[in-house]
Amino acid sequence: MKRVVAYTGNEVAAEAMRQIEPDVVAAYPITPATEVVQAFSGFVSDGLIQTEMMTVESEHSAMSACVGAAAAGGRAMTVTAANGLALMWEILYCASGNRLPIAMTVVNRAMSAPINIHCDHSDSMGARDSGWIQIYSENAQEAYDNLIMALPIAEDKNVLLPIMVCFDGFIISHSIERVELLEDKEVKDFVGEYKPQFALLDLEHPKTFGPLDLQDYYIEHKRQQHEAMKFVPDAVLASAKRFEALSGRKYGLIETYKLDDADVAIVVLNSAAGSTRAVVDKMREQGIKAGLLKIRMFRPFPAELIAQSLAHCKAIAVLDRCDSFGAQGGPVAHEVRSAICNLPKVPKVIQSVYGLGGRDLNIEDIVDVFGDLKKVADTGKVEKVFDYITVRS
Amino acid sequence: MVTLKELTHRYDGLGPGHRLCAGCAASIVARQVLLASDKPVIAASATGCLEVGTTIYPYSAWKIPWIHNAFENAAATITGVETMYRALKKQGKYKEDVNFVAFGGDGGTYDIGIQALSGALERGHKFVYVCYDNEAYMNTGIQRSSATPFRASTTTCPAGEVIPGKPQHRKDLAAIIAAHHIPYVAQCSPHNWRDVVGKAEKAFATDGPAFLNILSPCHRGWRIPMVDSLEIARVAVDTCFWPLYEVVDGKLKITYKPKEKLPLIEWLKMQGRYSHILKPENEHLIEEFQTEVDSEWEKLLARDGTSL
C-alpha cells in the first residue's frame, strides 16, 4: 500500500532512516541537513524506533563514532553537508579502508569560504576519491528511494563499502514535493537483517581493526577496495530490481532522456536534471535533437555505459556544480571526457561550471547551452572548451 | 582489590610479541589496566606508539577485540562501539557483558583528541579512557605537546642558544576532565602496580565515564637508561611532580603523600632532556619549576578531601 505525502527532501530522508531503523545514528547539525537530524531525534525521543542516537560534538566525531559502531557489528548511519563532510574527510577514508558499510545522507552545499549555505556539489565531489559509493538524487522521491536502496548495496558481501546518498541543499532539502512512501514493513523486509562477517563485539573471535599497514601490504589492501568497487554496479542494479518490484519505480546506474537519437546532449546530476529534461522537450519542439544523460551513480563511475550512451552524439555539454580550480572543468566533465576518449568517433565536449553557492540554473541558461551545442554540432568546432555559466560576465 | 597472585590468572589481553621499545612504559600501563577488568574488554587506541608498536600488519599483539581509527578520535570511536553494544543489547541481539577502554597518548589526549574526549565524557558513555602520558609526541620523534613539562627539551622546543627548552608549563588535564563532573577521574603511576590496577578496577566498575591519567616514562624522549622507566616514575611521584589522586563523584582524595617530598632536581637530573637546565646559568629555571610544582601540590593538599 503506497502512502503519498507532501514532504521536503529532508523529511523524506528522515522518514527513510526511521523506516530503516539503523542500530546507531551519530550526527551533528549543519544547514541544510539539520532537519534530518532533528526529525530523526524526534522519532527516537518519541520511542518510535529503537535506534541509539549519538548527538556528538562534531562531524569528525559523528563519522568516527559511525566507524566504531559499524566495526562493533551493526548498522550505523549519519547525515551531513558541506563543511561537515569536509571535517569528516579523514575518517571517510577510515570507513572505506576498514570496509564498513556505513550509509550517509549528504545534503549538497557549497564549501566555505566565503561561507554560503546553499547548494553546490563541491562537498561530495571533494570526497569522490575517498572510497565511498556515491549515489545522486534528482528529487525528494529519488532521495527517499536511494536511501532505502543504499544499505543492501553497501552490505553486499562482495562490496562492503560505505555509501553516500546525495541530494541538493534547499532546492530539494527544503522544497515540498509529492512523494510515495513504502510501508514500514516493506522497508524492513527490503533492507533485511545485517549479519557482519567480522565484529568487534564477537569476543570468541577477537579481531584487530585498523592496524599499521606498511609497504608490504598497504597497496594490496587498496587494490582490494578498487576490486570491491567493481562489484558495486551489479549490487546497485540488483537492489534497483528488487526495489522496482516493490515500488514500481525503476532505477539504473544512469538515466537517459531522449538520448537515443540525440545529436546534442547535456550530462548533469542531481536536481538540474529535472530542468534539463524540460528544456530537452522544448528543444525537440524546435527541431533540435536534444537529449539528457543524468548520472545516478558517480562512484564507481559507469564509464563504459556512459560512453556507449553518448557515442552517437555530435556534441555534449557536461555541467558541473563544482569547480576543480585551475583545471579545465569540474569533476563530472573530467570523468565523462575520459570515458568517451577512446570512442571511434568522439563527440565534441564543452564543459561548464554552473550554480555555485545556490545560484539558480534557469531554463534560459540551459537553452543557451543547447544553443552552443547546436553551433558546435553544426560547425564541428569548439570555441570555448570550458566556461562558467550562470555568472556575471 | 585483586591480589598479585590473582592477576597472574587473569587473561592478558596484550602481547607477548609487540614491538614497543624495551623499557617502554606504555605496554606496562596497558596491561595493568586490562588486567584490572573482571569482564571481557574491547579496546580502542589512538594513533601513537601503542597502536603502531602492537599492530604491524599482518601481526597483532592484541588478544582482545581492538580498533584503531585515527589520531584524534579514540574517544569517539570507542563510544561508537559502546553505543552499538547498548543498541544490540536493548534489542536482545547481544548477551555478553563487556567493558570498554580507549588508550591515547598525551598528544592524542591533551591536544588533538581533547574535543572528541570532552564530547564523549559529556554524553556519559560507560567507558574508561586511559591517557598514557609520556609527555611529548614520542611516536613522531619527540615533539612537544601540551603535556610536555616546563623547560624540557624536545625536537620542536629544543634547548637552544637562546631558548632553554619548552617555555610553557603543562596543561592540567585531570582537572579539565574532572570539570566534566564525570564519576571517576584518577592520576596514577605504573611504578606501583597496586595504584594503577586498583584505580583501573574502580574505573571499570564506574557506571559512566572514567578517566585515568597514567605517567608513562619514555626512555627515548626523556633520555634515560631504559631500565629506569619505573624508577623515574617513582621519583616523579615522590617529588610531587606527578601527584597520585582520584576524584570520585567530585570529591578529591590524594591517594599517596610522600613521607619525604624530594626536591624536583632529583627527578630532573635523571633525564637527558633536562641536561641544559643543570647549567649554573639556568638555576633560576629550576627554582621557577620547583615553585610551580610546590604551588600545584599545595593547591591539591588544600583540596584533599573536599568536593570540587
Residue finishing a domain among A247, A279, A307: A247
Residue B234 CB neighbour total at 10 angstroms: 20
CB-based contact B31:B14 (threshold 8 Å): yes
- A–B interface: beta-carbon pairs under 8 A: 159
Are residues A46 and A189 both part of a single domain? yes
What mean pLDDT comes out for the span B21-41? Answer: 97
For chain B, how many structural domains are there in total? Answer: 1
Give the confidence band of B2 by pLDDT, cuts at 50, 70, 90.
confident
CA-wise closest residue to B54 among B17, B13, B22: B17
pLDDT at B1 (0 to 100) = 85
Are B116 and A26 inside 8 Å of each other by CB?
A: no
Q: What is the dihedral of CA A359, A362, A365, A369, to 10 degrees?
A: 110
Crossing angle of helices A272-285 and A363-379, in 10° steps, is 60
Say what percent of chain A tops pLDDT 70: 100
Domain boundary among A188, A217, A247: A247
The whole domain housing A277 covers 254-388
How many domains, in total, are found in chain A? 2
pLDDT at A1 (0 to 100): 61
Average pLDDT over residues B46-70: 97
In this structure, the answer to whether residues A187 and A44 fall within a common structural domain is yes
**Residue B24 pLDDT greater than 80, yes or no:** yes
B76 touches chain A (CB under 8 A): yes
Q: Does A137 lie in the same domain as A43?
A: yes
In this structure, the answer to whether residues A213 and A308 fall within a common structural domain is no
Interface of B with A in 121-180 (CB under 8 A): 122-123
With beta carbons less than 8 A apart as the criterion, state whether B216 and B29 touch. yes
Query: Does residue A228 lie in a domain region?
Result: yes
Here the cell at position B60 is 597483532
**Residues A203 and A315 both lie in one domain:** no
User: End of a domain among A196, A230, A247?
Assistant: A247
The residue among A41, A44, A49, A61 with the most chain B CBs within 10 A of its CB, best to mutate, is: A61
Amino acid at B285: L
Burial B261-299 (b: 16+ CB within 10 A, else e): ebebbebbebbebbebbeeeebeebbeebbebbeebbee
Residue ranges making up the domain that contains B121: 4-303
CATH of the domain at B232: 3.40.50.970
For residue B44, the chain A residues in CB contact (below 8 A) are 68
A23 contacts B60? CB cut-off 8 A: no
The pLDDT of residue B16 is: 86
pLDDT at B12: 92
Q: Are residues A323 and A279 in the same domain?
A: yes
C-alpha cell at A236: 546497485
- Give dist(CA A346, CA A326) in Å, integer: 24
Q: Assign residue B54 a region (left: φ > 0; alpha: ψ between -120 and 50; beta: otherwise).
A: alpha
Q: Is residue B308 part of a domain?
A: no
Mean pLDDT of A336-346: 97
Enumerate residues 6+ apart whose C-beta is below 8 A from A233. Answer: A253, A297, A300, A302
How close A207 comes to chain B (CA, Å)? Answer: 5
What residues does B16 pair with on adjacent strands?
none
Residues A74 and A161 in one domain: yes
Residue A261, domain CATH: 3.40.50.920
Selected for mutation to probe chain A from B41, B79, B82, B84 (highest A CB count within 10 Å) is B84
Residue B142 grid cell: 619527540
Check residue B190 and give left, alpha or beta (phi > 0: left; psi -120 to 50: alpha).
Answer: alpha
pLDDT tens, position by position, A296-333: 999 999 999 999 999 999 999 999 999 999 998 999 99
Interface list for B 92-121 with A (CB within 8 A): 94, 96, 98, 115-116, 118-120
Give the whole-angstrom CA distance, residue A89 versus residue A128. Answer: 10
DSSP A28-84: ---TTTHHHHHHHHHHHHTTS--PEEEE-SSHHHHHHHHHHHHHHTS-EEEEE-HHH
Calculate mean pLDDT across residues A235-258: 98
- Answer yes or no: is A220 within a domain: yes
C-alpha cell at B65: 577485540
Does any domain span residue A393?
no
Whether A109 is in a domain gets the answer: yes
Residue A58 to chain B, least CA–CA distance (Å): 8
Q: Which of A196, A248, A224 is nearest to A71 (CA)?
A: A196
Position A318 in a domain: yes
Mean pLDDT of all residues in B125-134: 98
Nearest to B210 by CA among B172, B242, B184: B184
Q: Which residues pair with B66 in a beta bridge?
A: A208, B43
ipTM higher than 0.85?
A: yes
B96 in Cβ contact with B65 (< 8 Å): no
| Contact status of B81 with chain A (Cβ, < 8 Å) | yes
Condensed to tens digits (0 to 9), the pLDDT of residues A263-279 reads 999 999 999 999 999 99
One domain, residues A312 and A327:
yes
Q: Is residue B209 part of a domain?
A: yes
Mean per-residue pLDDT, B85-109: 98
- What is each CA distance from B171 to A68, A154, B132, B182, in whole angstroms? 29, 43, 15, 19
Angle in degrees, 0-180, between the axes of helices A59-72 and A82-97, rounded to the nearest 10: 30
Do A286 and A238 fall into the same domain? no
Q: Has residue A231 got a pLDDT over 80?
A: yes
Average pLDDT, chain A: 98
d(CA A27, CA A146): 20
Which position has the grid cell 536511494? A146
Domain containing residue A102: CATH number: 3.40.50.970
**Probe site for chain B from A25, A208, A221, A224 (most B CB atoms < 10 A):** A208
* A22-54 pLDDT, tens digit each: 999 999 999 999 999 999 999 999 999 999 999
Same domain? For A58 and A137 the reply is yes
Judging contacts by C-beta atoms under 8 Å, the chain B residues touching residue A23 are 84, 87-88, 91
Q: Is residue A140 part of a domain?
A: yes
Is residue B273 in some structural domain?
yes
Question: Tell me: the pLDDT tens digits for A13-30?
Answer: 999 999 999 999 999 999
Q: What is the pLDDT of residue B51?
A: 98
Instruction: Tell me if chain B has a CB within 8 Å of the CB of A371.
Output: no
Size (chain B), residues? 308
Residue B253 lies in a domain: yes
Q: Do A234 and A264 have their domain in common?
A: no
